[in-house]
């Protein structure tokens, strides 16, 4: 199962980065958001499932780095930072900025999912709780950003007075709102499901109680 998850995650990345989405993303905010969600909410958790508790698991060697709450804060900074108009416009132009954006999405997504799954795999209630908190906090800020985009009544990404998603403001707003819905459905729900799944696993199979010291 782990090998299949890892392979599937890598295939998702190949399709996302090697298919038509990068070209579409230059003109469509919804396509750009589809790439983002495919990387952080599908490829990253699949790869994390494939490496956690194996010899490839980096959280065993660097536990101080793979801390769920730290990872959640870093993901918040990366996701919201790249969706600020200036940075988003730079990434849409392609080149090194686009590569940096996509690489940072993948790295921070892997950091978060490996951190949360790794802590939960330790089999302790504390580990499951902190892993759950990391995923639920991410679900909350993804939902908030998705809602802001989905309910915005004007283009938020404008260059020289013209919406970067097209000259027609109505078309740009519709494209932007679709991108927000994609983030709401993929980002909010996948991270929520992941957090609840971690807690449910420990509740259903609690760690054995320690025997009293003699």
Domain ranges, ordered by start, for the chain: 2-204
Average pLDDT score, the chain: 87
Q: What is the pLDDT at residue 118? A: 84
Residue range 73-95: average pLDDT?
A: 92
Spatial distance between the Cα atoms of 86 and 185, rounded to a whole number of angstroms: 25
Residue range 91-120: average pLDDT?
A: 92
Residue range 175-189: average pLDDT?
A: 92
Residue 60 DSSP code: G
Residue range 88-111: average pLDDT?
A: 93
Q: What is the pLDDT at residue 205? A: 63
* Residue 9 pLDDT class (50, 70, 90 cuts): very high
Residue 211 confidence (pLDDT) above 70: no
Residue 93 DSSP code: T
* Residue 213 pLDDT class (50, 70, 90 cuts): very low
The residue with tokens 């905010």 is: 29
Range 206-209, long-range pairs (CB < 8 A, 24+ positions)? 206/125, 207/123, 207/124, 207/125
Least confident stretch, 35-39, 158-162, 187-191 = 158-162
Residue range 131-156: average pLDDT?
A: 92
Contact 60, 53 (CB under 8 A): no
Residue range 131-155: average pLDDT?
A: 92
Question: What are 192's two structure tokens?
Answer: 């929520």
Percent of the chain's residues with pLDDT above 70: 90
Residues 103-138: b if buried by 16+ CB within 10 A, e if exposed:
ebbbebbbbbbbbbbbbbbbeeeebbbbbbbbbbbb
Residue 4 confidence (pLDDT) above 70: yes
Contact 44, 9 (CB under 8 A): yes
Q: What is the pLDDT at residue 166? A: 63
């Amino acid at each position: 199962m782990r090998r299949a998850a890892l392979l599937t995650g890598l295939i998702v990345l190949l399709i996302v980065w090697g298919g038509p989405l990068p070209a579409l993303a230059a003109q469509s905010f919804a396509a750009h958001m589809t790439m983002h969600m495919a990387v952080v909410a599908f490829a990253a958790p699949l790869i994390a499932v494939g490496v956690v508790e194996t010899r490839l698991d980096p959280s065993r060697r660097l536990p101080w780095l793979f801390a769920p709450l730290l990872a959640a804060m870093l993901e918040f900074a990366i996701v919201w930072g790249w969706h600020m108009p200036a940075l988003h416009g730079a990434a849409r132009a392609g080149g090194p900025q686009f590569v940096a954006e996509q690489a940072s999405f993948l790295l921070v997504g892997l950091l978060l999912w490996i951190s949360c799954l790794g802590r939960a795999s330790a089999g302790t209630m504390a580990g499951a709780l902190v892993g759950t908190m990391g995923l639920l906090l991410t679900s909350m800020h993804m939902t908030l950003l998705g809602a802001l985009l989905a309910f915005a009544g004007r283009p938020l990404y404008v260059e020289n007075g013209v919406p970067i998603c097209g000259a027609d403001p109505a078309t740009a707003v519709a494209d932007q709102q679709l991108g927000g819905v994609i983030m709401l459905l993929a980002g909010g729900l996948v991270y929520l499901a992941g957090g609840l799944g971690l807690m449910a696993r420990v509740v259903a199979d609690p760690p054995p109680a320690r025997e009293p010291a003699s």
